[in-house]
Amino acid sequence: MVSDQTNQKESPMAYESEYTLLEQVIQMLATKEDSKFSKVIEKVVNEAMKLERAKTLQAEPYERTEDRVGYANGFKNKTLALATGKVLLKIPQVRGLEFYPSCIEKGIRSERALKLAVAEMYVRGISTRRVSEIVEILCGTEVSSSQVSRLAKELDEEVTSWRSLPVGQMQYLILDATYEAVRVGPRVVKQALLVAFGVDSEGQRHILDTQVTNNEAEVNWRTFLEGLVRRGLHGLTMITSDDHSGLRAAIDAVFPGVLWQRCQFHLQQNARSYVTRKDEVPAVASDIRKVFNAPDQENAQRYLTNLVEKYQTSQPRLAQWADQNLREGLSVFQIPESHRRKLRTSNLAERQMKEIKRRTKVVGVFPNSESLTRLVGTMLIEQNDQWRNEKRYLPESSDQPAFKQIYRKGVA
């Protein structure tokens, strides 16, 4: 369990000397208290965090020096429930730069959700010996049904609150989905996890929402996107995603007239399926890159026409596919040039999806869709908080597109 308290002021006697700290640790270990190890951890970690902050700021508390790069701003309390007992950590706060002590894990929220997801499997009687071992390693104690219920309620309230926040104006929207194994009744099925990312007019990244659905059918994507609109999403210039018939139909229904950019990376990957001779794959990839790396839309269209004519005879299936599909990867030429590189693919979403996969792999099969939403939601909240403190994702730009031309091939 974790609990936060408000900032506390800096004490003039900020640090213990090495001798005093060692003496106190020895005295703690000499006691017969059951919580002595927790107190040792608490003392040592708190001192280590204060020293790390001073090193980061390049100044001791209240020290006047030209080398200082920021200012101490008190402490924030966090209570951790470890296997050895409760530990009160005083997390040093900083003004003027981003800082978080490396000696403790920043992802407390997502780790708590990970423990809970595995714990649910254990409590519901569907665990294996391996899952039981994971629970013991992660939680450090046995897990009861009441503990799981209480933790689940806390995390669900946090995720629900985040998913209800106003969205507001977003310049760009990036959409992606992945599949996870979820237990539904007596069966284990693959369910779709939909995720939406946004970039606002200030160039800042945001994670807007996530939702577990049965699949990527148009009705599910449409419901997901309509939820964003109800929360105030407006002002879109372009949407980037991979090609999926359900998603494309939903975009056309909810955001008619908004540019859609098909991920150029996935287009390159898809093109390989239409090359009949392996030795021609590098040449085809190079020709497609030339189209995508063109300086403007006019030249991109010209390069594409040349590509289609080049392979019309030797690779007719490739030529036909390229003529119909590569045009969907050229919408990015209608946004400012300084924004194109980061929005011509769905890499922003792909990186987060890989991190989600890394964490869900530990669980394997989720006991229900709520458990999946809980884990992924807490991870995304944490990442979103981190992005708020980072520099803008897109640079400022005064470029204005000369025209807006929307291309869509027919949706089967």
Q: Could you give the CA distance from residue 240 to residue 251 in angstroms, rounded to a whole number?
A: 10
Q: Could you give the CA distance from residue 279 to residue 245 in angstroms, rounded to a whole number?
A: 31
C-beta contacts of 30-36 below 8 A and 24+ residues apart: 34/85, 35/84, 35/85, 35/86
* Domain locations in the chain as residue ranges: 2-104, 264-345
SS3 assignment for 309-329: HHHCCCCHHHHHHHHHHHHHH
DSSP letter at 35 equals T
H or E segment and range at residue 165: none
Query: Digits of tens for pLDDT over the chain (412 positions)?
Result: 444 444 555 544 444 544 455 565 556 555 666 566 667 777 777 888 888 888 888 887 777 777 788 888 888 887 766 655 677 888 888 887 877 787 665 556 555 655 556 555 544 544 445 555 555 555 555 555 566 666 677 778 888 999 999 999 999 999 999 999 999 989 999 999 999 999 999 999 999 999 999 999 999 999 999 999 999 999 999 999 999 999 999 999 999 999 999 999 999 999 999 998 888 899 999 999 999 999 999 999 999 999 999 999 999 999 999 999 999 999 999 999 999 999 999 999 999 999 889 888 877 888 889 889 988 988 898 889 889 878 889 988 766 544 455 555 654 3
What does the pLDDT read at residue 1?
44
What does the pLDDT read at residue 252?
94
pTM: 0.70
